[in-house]
Amino acid sequence: MNKIGCILLLVIVVLTGCNRSSSSLEEVHFNHLNKEVRAFVDQFKDRNGIFLYSRVGEDEYFIVNYATIQQGEPAKFLKDIHAEIRGQVFTIIMNEQDTSDLQDQRLKKFSIYKLNKNHKIDSIQVIKNGKEIPIDIVGS
């Protein structure tokens, strides 16, 4: 009876571990990118937006850029971000906030995330503050 309990517990642990690794975003520092991805990010470093670097057979990167602050308008920043798989759609869920304090430590020009997809994915969807939005530029 004790052996069956141990085997059952082991199976549960393995299956739980597999479910947790289904998808994720991993923040990556600019200096750890290869030269092609850095060149892509450099093209848009002075332009606000959401960008996707995607090349067949290579890692994909999701870039959120808040480089420009319009005079008289609050600065925007990424409050939180995560990803999940919904069917065969890799869904990126992000929450954006703003502040009038330009010294706010949450402000940064851009954030780069490596997409870790462990399943066959047909498309990528982005939801910002509860609404689906398009990716500004997809390139490689």
Q: What would the 3-class secondary structure string for 72-113 be?
A: CCCEEEEEEEEEEEECCEEEEEEEEEEECCCCCCCCCCEEEE
Q: What is the pLDDT of residue 71?
A: 82
Distance CA 60, CA 63 (A): 10
Q: What is the pLDDT of residue 7?
A: 46
* CA angle, residues 65, 66, 69, in degrees to nearest 5: 155
Q: What is the pLDDT of residue 23?
A: 53
How confident is the chain (140 residues) per 10-residue block, as mean pLDDT? 46 43 78 93 91 89 89 89 90 93 86 86 93 92
- Give the burial class of 53: count Cβ atoms within 10 A of its Cβ; 0-12 exposed, 13-18 middle, 19 or more buried: buried
Encoding tokens for residue 48? 């606000």
Q: What is the pLDDT of residue 102?
A: 85
Distance CA 64, CA 44 (A): 10
Predicted TM-score (pTM) of the model is 0.78
Which residues in 64-73 are b (16+ Cβ under 10 Å) and which e? bbbeeeeeee
Q: Which residue type sits at 109? A: K
Q: What is the pLDDT of residue 24?
A: 83
Q: What is the pLDDT of residue 56?
A: 81
Domain ranges of the chain: 23-139
